[in-house]
Chains A and B, each alone.
Chain A
Amino acid sequence: MRDVSISNVLWLLKLALLLQCVGVFFYLKGGSAIETMLFMEMGLEQANSKLVENIIAWVFLIFGIVAFLKPDKYLLVIISLLTLALAYIIKRQAGSPFTEWSIPSHFIRIILPIGILLLATNKQKNIRGAYWVLLVGLSITFITHGLEAWSLHPRFIDYLLISSEKTLGIRFKQSSAEIVLKVIGTIDILVALSTLVFPKNAVFYWMAFWGFVTAFARVTELGLGLYPEVLIRAGHWLVPISLVWLNEIRNQSKVP
């Protein structure tokens, strides 16, 4: 690989964060755990709950755009904390399978702004830190998804069954999908663990490919209207590419 600079990596990560924030914007506009918490738990009027949710949606969008143009460190920390808060609210409100795992499941989304922050503040000095923060964040997300797949997450079963029916015209039995999910879950966990010990580019490319395929499964299952679900997961496929580039930069810097 040639001509990869930290600026390239930074640009890629900022793009991932922008896409993620656009996805969160549409997710919140469609109704989320925030409205449920404010209305059901805190007793706010539904219209006011929805208003607050819309404001938070716009905050994500505007912060994402500003961070893309000018990645201010305070702004990045706020985006990270907001993303963590959203994952916590989803966990607290529950109401969907495996929401109790939402924080580790969303870990790369939460940690992505911190990775950008490390690269943007003092580029050369923080490459190693950014690399490990992003790698650990990505691994935690992959491991959690692997465990969900191993536990036969019902939505994952439907992604497989409906996507294969719509794209290949093949209607599999649930038992077949469950076997495939067990295999997928095992691979996800092994891949995530292996990157921590043997950070090979081939494995990162696999993670990028698989991260995109699984994010895009929402679209193959239920149509293009689900594109915000793909955007929210931009980090799942762009962060592994950034790790390849960071690896390359780190290796270059070691050459005398």
Chain B
Amino acid sequence: MDNILSLTDVKVYFQVRKGFFGSSDIRAVDGVSLEIRNGETMAIVGESGSGKTTLGRVALRLLEPTSGSIVFQGKDISHASEGSLGWLRRQAQPIFQDPYSSIDTFMNVHQIIEEPLVIHKIGTSEERRETVKKSLRDVRLTPEDDFIRKYPHQLSGGQRQRVSMARALVLEPKFIVADEPVSMIDASSRAEILFLLKELQGSKGISFLYITHDIATARYFADRIAVMYLGRLVEVGLPRQIIEDPLHPYTKALIEAVPEADPKNRLRERKVIPGEPASPTDIPSGCRFHPRCEYAIKGKCERDDTYLQEEKPDHFVACHLY
């Protein structure tokens, strides 16, 4: 079995009350099919409202999908009960975005990292202490004896994020969903964290689902990139393909919008996608990007929905232009 995770037409809808009697759906994830191979890092790039965070959570079964199937290591976990997912928790872990709210401030580093072992009743107190120290070494928080006793408020954002990573790694999972792990960390420290993640991936053979809005870090870290818009994947391919040869108009606009350290930038305006992203409660008909697309084909794009097609080897796009 080559794929660690297989999502097939997964939909996650949330119900919201509208007025007295009505309710409407927030279609956070609206039909996503994706396969992540063993040892691979798949990046999901999208903006707010794209549904990428929800996708990450449903991949870990922290949410139940409204429809579609999720198969992890060959087992269907789509609708398994919470109680039966203990094994999953040891195989799949998240790393969250906010290093300030994802770890408890009243526990010290040792307690935070030890907790997964305590929950799953692994090892004696002595053994756990050793495991915690080893995991601190893995994330380069040394000398370990110094850090073990510290509380989160005594650590910097980058250090906290590494504690968060250590906690995720201590159960030796095979799959990690990293949701914007560096976006709340200073630009100069981001590379360090990503480097660490890459190193850990190599040494432990972990597969990653890397969720971000920052394509530049996706390029550095991921083996494949999937671009998400309003609950659907619009383009999937290798980083080189996505960045040098973007096919979907949305991808093109995203690439264009990223600032680069180039002195000429300040003398001209960037090309921007007009308007705001549509809301997941009110999804446009046909191709959901058509209201903002400069290449929209009249008649077709507002009527017919789009689906991912392999346009070039390993490069998929959902667009009527192709």
Please determine whether chains A and B interact with each other in the same assembly: no
